[in-house]
Amino acid sequence: MTESIVGETYAAETCRVLSSAWESWGTPDVDVIAHLINPSFLGGPSWPAVRQAHAIVRREDALLVASSGLADPTEWDDAEPTNGYELEVFGISPDIHIDSDTLTVATSWLGQTVMTVSNLVAQYGFQVPDMLDRHRIITIQLDEARLPGEAADTYLDENGALVVMLGLVDDELPAAVRGPLSAIRLINVKVLTVAEGHFCVHNSMGDDEARRELARRFAAQGGVLWSSLTRPSVV
């Protein structure tokens, strides 16, 4: 997979449609979270067109962190060009101070969670949208997650793992935008309490229905797309 002429031709339009989506929610920073050395050169997962970054979007009541690069225009060796893996992931939280600088956001639990999920998506590639097509909502476990001490008992299991839900949708942001090469999903990352994570696995209704039941409860609670370490568990 290479960027080549495809990236040069379609990168600006891809940036425009994604920026428009984030601007519908808040004000994107000019600066992005980026690495001095691309992690793929150090053994990390390779993103579709190599570029790895994360955008920060702010408004008065919350802060959003989103991957920037998973949907970069990409030319594949064995398939037609696409907007990368045809998705970007994002998380929203009111917990991070809206005036925090780029480094503070990057090292916050929200920034670290979104970046971890971004790299997992890059590792599994098109398997992720395929799973979302089949199940609509999925959960994944993040091992050795780091959260503030006061939240550990509520959000981290006995092994220090955190469960997040991918695929919740709400009118607050579009579920997808039309990229120049293919549709790009905007995949929400929702942090689950330990009780909510266990509910997805240890239940009598089946995993898919359990996840949908959690989605219904989040809708009743409000702030469907938001994560907060002080949010009351719905289980």
Q: Using CA atoms, how far apart are residues 71 and 192, in angstroms rounded to an integer?
A: 26
**For residues 136 and 123, what is the distance between their CA atoms, to the nearest angstrom?**
20
Whether 10 maps to a domain, the answer reads yes
Mean pLDDT value across residues 52-78: 96
Q: What is the DSSP string of 168-182?
A: --BTTB-SEEE-SSS
Please tell me whether residue 93 adopts helix, strand or coil conformation: strand
Question: Looking at the domain assignment, is residue 121 inside a domain?
Answer: yes
- Residue 226 resides in a domain: no
Say how far apart CA 69 and CA 66 lie, in whole Å. Answer: 10
**Residue 188, domain member (yes or no):** yes
Digit-coded pLDDT (tens) for 8-39: 899 999 999 999 999 999 999 999 998 766 66
Q: Give me the pLDDT at residue 37, please.
A: 67
Number of H helices, E strands in the chain: 7, 11
> 3-state class of 136 per DSSP?
coil
Q: pLDDT-derived band of residue 205, with 50, 70 and 90 as boundaries?
A: confident
Q: What is the pLDDT of residues 138-183, one digit of tens each?
A: 999 999 898 998 899 999 999 999 999 999 999 999 999 999 999 9
Rounded to the nearest angstrom, the gap between the alpha carbon of residue 21 and the centroid of all alpha carbons in its chain is 14
The Cα 155–Cα 171 span in angstroms is 26
Strands 53-59 and 162-166: unpaired
Contacts of 34 (CB under 8 A, 6+ apart): 52, 53, 54
Tell me how many domains the chain contains.
Answer: 1
**What's the pLDDT at 141?**
95
Residue 231 lies in a domain: no
Task: Name the pLDDT band for 46 (thresholds 50, 70, 90).
Answer: confident
Give me the domain span that covers residue 110.
Answer: 4-221
Determine the pLDDT at residue 42: 65
pLDDT at 2 over 50: no
Specify if 227 maps to a domain. Answer: no
CA nearest to 84, candidates 56, 45, 116? 45
- Higher pLDDT: 206 or 104? It is 104
Q: How confident is the model at residue 203 (pLDDT cuts 50, 70, 90)?
A: confident
Q: Which two tokens stand for residue 137?
A: 């909502």
- Taking residues 206-231, report their average pLDDT: 95
The pLDDT, as a whole number, for residue 1 is 47
Task: Give 40's DSSP letter.
Answer: G
pLDDT of residue 97: 96
- Residue range 61-86: mean pLDDT, rounded: 95
CA angle, corner 111, sides to 109 and 117, nearest 5? Answer: 100
Residue 77 lies in a domain: yes
Judge whether 102 lies within some domain: yes
Instruction: Give the model confidence (pLDDT) of 76-122 as tens digits.
Output: 988 999 999 999 999 999 999 999 999 999 999 999 999 999 999 99
